Structure 1
Amino acid sequence: MVLPKHMRLKGHRCFDFIYREGERFYSPSMVLRVTKANTKLQVRGINSNLSPSIKCAISISNKVSKRSVIRNKLRRLFHHHLSCRLSKIECVNEVWAFISLKPSCIKNSNRDLLKECDKLLIKAGITK
């Protein structure tokens, strides 16, 4: 299961905005950036009639692994995890979140990475 299209965040303008304006939350293996959505930036392919939600993006650098197969497996793992966690949450304002994995994350198991992700989501006030 992949993150539904209405929950995915795309486009370099959105990412630039999150890097500039987003609040950062750190853990040993990843960084979570969270900000309120910028309504002036148009996110392609997203129906504006939907209720406010949390839109996410995941960045996995070549420094994490040179093999694209491993990076794509991690990306799919996080997309599935986030879709399960965030689809049940009711939001008042639209929120954009961006997760960047650090090169040291490859040493951890998938279970540990997802636990770390959950802790960051709680720290950011997105989940409980």
Structure 2
Amino acid sequence: MVLPKQMRLKGHKCFDHIYKKGKRFYSPSMVLRVTNANAKLHSIERKSNIKPSIKCAISISNKVSKKSVTRNKLRRLFHHYLSYRLSKINPESELWAFISLNPSCMKNSNSNLLKECDKLLTKAGITK
């Protein structure tokens, strides 16, 4: 399962905004950047009856694994987990989140990576 289109974040201007304005949260295997959304950069029209949401992206470099199959499995794992976790949350404002994995993440099991991700989401105040 992939993140629903309304939860995906794309476009280099969005990522530039996250890198410049985002608050960083670190763990041994990944970095989470979170910022309030910039409506000018994203081409989604906001209607009054639509609740704010969290849009997210995941970056897994070639340093994590040279095999694209491995990187894509990790990306799908995180997308599935985030869609499950974030679908239960009603944020007060539109948020953008960006997760980048460090090469050291391959030393951990998938369940440990997801626990680390959950801790970072809690540390950032997105989840409880």
Shared fold, TM over 0.5: yes
Which residue identity lines up with residue 48 of structure 1 in the other structure?
R
RMSD of aligned alpha carbons: 1.0
TM-score, normalised to structure 1, is: 0.95
Deviation, 1:48, is: 3.0
1:93 CA displacement: 0.4
Q: Is the 8 A contact 1:37 1:94 kept in 2?
A: yes
Moved more, 57-66 or 47-56: 47-56
CA distance in 1, matches of 2:18, 2:32: 10
Separation in 2 of the partners of 1:53 and 1:20?
21
Structure 1, 68-77 or 33-42: larger mean CA deviation: 33-42
- CA deviations over 1:49-74 (Å, ceiling 9, x no partner): 33210000000000000000000000
The answer as to 2:91 corresponding to 1:91 is yes
Which residue identity is paired with 1:86? L
The one-letter code sitting in structure 2 at the alignment partner of 1:116 is E
1:56-95 equivalent positions in 2, closer than 5 A: 56-95=56-95
CA shift for structure 1 position 108: 0.5
Correspondence 1:112 to 2:112: yes
Identity %: 77
TM superposition outliers: structure 1 runs of 4+ over 2 Å? 46-50
Helix, strand or coil: the match of 1:71?
helix
Structure 2: runs of 5 or more not aligned: none
- Please give the alpha-carbon distance, in whole angstroms, between the structure 2 residues aligned to 1:21 and 1:65: 29
How many residues are treated as equivalent by the alignment? 126
Deviation at 1:81, TM superposition (A): 0.2
* SS of equivalent residue, structure 1 residue 10: coil
